[in-house]
Amino acid sequence: YREDDVEDVFCLTFEASYDAYGDVVTVPLVANGANVAVTSANRVEYVLRYLQWVLSDSIARQFEPFRRGFYYVCGSNALSLFKPEDIELMVHGSGEDWDSDALRKTTNFVGFDSEAAQTVGGWFWDVLREMTQRDRKLFLAFVTGSDRMPTVASTQFSMKLAMLGSEHNRFPIAHTCFNQLGLWMYRSKDELRQKLMMAMTESEGFGLK
């Protein structure tokens, strides 16, 4: 807003409010903030102080234990070598698409005999390869708890694929703590695709966003 009637239009003071379990709590952004009107002359200061409150002061109590813990684990000189976006990438992972063929090379198979490996195992990789990028993100979230690939990339990321048994009418089972996906002895690729997509889209657990 670039006009000169900020005080008349917005009727704001140097305060910020938030909802606390149904009650509105108001805090001053400066001393005696309730009596300091936001005007055209001080509106920039108001915005800066409001951002400082939202991004820092309002969460200081919750953030401080995290900050101490983070620096306890990662507080070495090596941390200064990275930019903030580099650290975010290492912590949060990459949102870019990934290669299912590369993931196949690092996957460990458990309980697959030669027949299951040729049928269910082969169908699984065909289905994964045919997925859209959006569906691959859902698959990754289903198996690992996060829809983002670790920064080490799929060439080093390891997954475990387990054969659970012959009950083809059951849905795949994921163990996100171990990056493990359990499949059953499905009768066709279409049946595998239908069961896997249903499990991916209709299930919910502890996920990382």
Residue of 20, 44, 81, 177 marked catalytic:
177
| Burial of 139: CB neighbours in 10 Å, binned 0-12, 13-18, 19+ | buried
Distances (CA, A) of 104 to 51, 75, 175, 209: 46, 36, 18, 25
Active-site residue, 11 included: no
Whole-angstrom distance, CA of residue 5 vs CA of residue 8: 5
Q: Which of 39, 2, 5 is nearest to 14 (CA)?
A: 39
Q: By the 8 A CB rule, do 151 and 93 touch?
A: yes
Q: Tell me the two tokens of residue 107.
A: 């996957």
Q: By the 8 A CB rule, do 193 and 142 touch?
A: no
Q: By the 8 A CB rule, do 14 and 29 touch?
A: yes
| Burial of 192: CB neighbours in 10 Å, binned 0-12, 13-18, 19+ | buried
List b or e across 21-46, with b for residues whose CB sees 16 or more CB atoms inside 10 angstroms.
eeeeeeebbeeebeebebbeebeeeb
User: So which residues are the catalytic ones?
Assistant: 177
